[in-house]
Structure 1
Amino acid sequence: MQTFLQNQYEATILIVDDTPANLEVLATMLKARGYQIRIAPSGRLALQFVARTQPDLILLDISMPDMDGYEVCRRLKEHETWRSIPVIFISALNNTQGKLRSFAAGGVDYITKPFHCAEVEARVETHIKLNLYQRYLEVMIEKKACELAQAQEKVARAEKISIVGVMSAGIAHEINQPLNAIKLISSNLVLSHAEGRKRDISEYVDNMKEISRQADRIKDSIEHLRAFIRNDRKHLHSLNLNAVIGNVLRIVGKQLNSHGIRITLSLQKDLADIWATTTGLETVLINLLINSMHALGTLEPSDRSITVKTYMNRDIILEVMDNGPGIASELRTRIFEPFVSAQNSADNLGLGLAIANNIISSYKGRIELVSGAESRTVFRVIFPVGKEA
């Protein structure tokens, strides 16, 4: 910080006045203090100078022909790049109305003629330092914002990896069944050949067809995981919500069952399609299901239950309800904020619901905590209908 402020003695000051004597007095005075001085005898020349090189401070005379100081200051403040340059007005008038008008125009201070060297030097030094402090703080804020964004990105990636882990485990279960089928068919063929049993060619064809079908199931599961990792959130398309729910439960249902959780489905038939992405919807639903799974950890396995429900009014509604202990009242209004979690565990980053909220918002929908106390938690996701939403 000290190194940064030492630059005050190299600061550039633009003095704008149509009176040569005033220019000379101020220039001589401030050069002696180590400032770089530039002069402009009119408002138009001052604006031309600022367009080429931005000074650190402007001393601006109010009473000038053609364009007065108020107009010059107004134009400076209208320009996005120039508006941060501090302007100290200079005037022979020492009245309250003139000072108020100067501050209203965007000036930071007011100096009256004839000049008092000590006063001018003190005011200039003060505003040079304030300007440098402001610039320093802006740099530090930008730096800290970048560091925070990088930290949040790392945590978000960790959350994504966690979800991918859930998907991978589910798909591993899903792949086992077709692999076992392929192994059984192949073993029977090898055994038949070893025992010298003759088989009709059509039987061999049927066995090869079944092996091919089971291999396609494995390929589809792997492609599903690849698509999830690639993240297709930017490519919205028409989707059936019930079909996505069925697909997610096919993948992660075994994990939920392994925790003793009963899944109850209440899905309205003939739902209109929603405009979304498969990856995004699966991310939202997996987050809600995993949150419920964690919440149910305190209950006996025989008591654990999750209900997934869809229905339609003007919108399409998805509800995920569990019979866990609920969410503490102090967390309910903040539950969709980043790093807020109802679960106290080292591996819970508190980003799942924040990510789900962002995804649903990108579909122009919304997600709500309908209830969160007295042994029940219900999350409601509301989707607009169709592509036009």
Structure 2
Amino acid sequence: MIPGAAIGEMAAAANLPPLLNERKMHILAVDDDPVNLNVLVGILSTEPYTITTAQSAREALILLDTRQWDLLIADVMMPHMSGYELTQRVREHYSLSELPVLLLTARSQPADIYTGFSSGANDYVTKPVDALELKYRIRALTALKQSIHERLRMEAAYLQAQIHPHFLFNTLNSIMALSDIDTDRMRDLGYAFASYLRISFDFLNTGELVELSHELELAKAYLHIEQVRFEDRLSVVWEVEPGISLLLPPLTIQPLIENAVRHGLLSRNQGGTVHIRIARRDGFTLIEVKDNGKGMEQEKVIQLLNPTMKGKGGIGIANTHRRLMQLYGQGLSIVSKPGEGTTVSFVIPDNRNM
């Protein structure tokens, strides 16, 4: 006969909140004691997680750069670098929602708990660990990570689908105007506009990764439309190394190009040039959008990357930055100078296991 307490625990375990999708969550567990790691792995063996272990904080920092992680579990008391210090290092690259951290501690005094939260931890569990409590706290933190990630993806797709009315009407007017003077150019513009609309509403935009060719098709359709509309005011230079094939988050290139065209170049009467470069490097692919437009002050750069900034232009850039941070631990790099232009870039690491 199963004891009443055991029955209650089994019932509670059966009621653990479900994950948002079927993908296995990847957890990195750090403890200098291999016995503790084995116990942790055993407790989570029936859960939908892939557990990777490390026996030092330094080893954990190396592993963090090898894939996308959904949760970091760290023991507080470790030699050389404590769990507190490890959490502080993690927060230099990941926010609370981008990589939740759960600390395991034998100390449960208010001062110890305060130290954990002030170092950047999301939650803590005291030792000896209660298996059911640990499962619930882990499920809550992984659900947080999933929900934030899903929201950012859906936000990006929503922003792309909200086509600016002026862009829509001006493009249609250009098509109508060309029908009287150049039917070939009208046909090309019509095809580009159809491609732009089709990709903007594509369900692939709500996914996690797409082919580079999908992103480039959208960017080229957008630029073709703008070049027809603004003619000599907008020049485009493509510098894409042949043979590059990679997966990247959807809607990461086109928002950068649109921001460069609308806010960097076309805000000036003389316009300018947007330069798109995609190049292979040792261990990663570099994607860069450069313009010789009006540029901006460093304060504006900081605002663009701030997810709390209000305004349509800032939201798109901030969203792209945060999605890249979620996946790779590094987001957009923006270098700008008033009167000289802006360069926005990001990297896609090679062989990044998702």
Query: TM-score when scaled to structure 1?
Result: 0.41
Question: Relative CO higher for 1 or 2, CA cutoff 8 Å, sep ≥ 6?
Answer: 2
TM-score by length of 2: 0.45
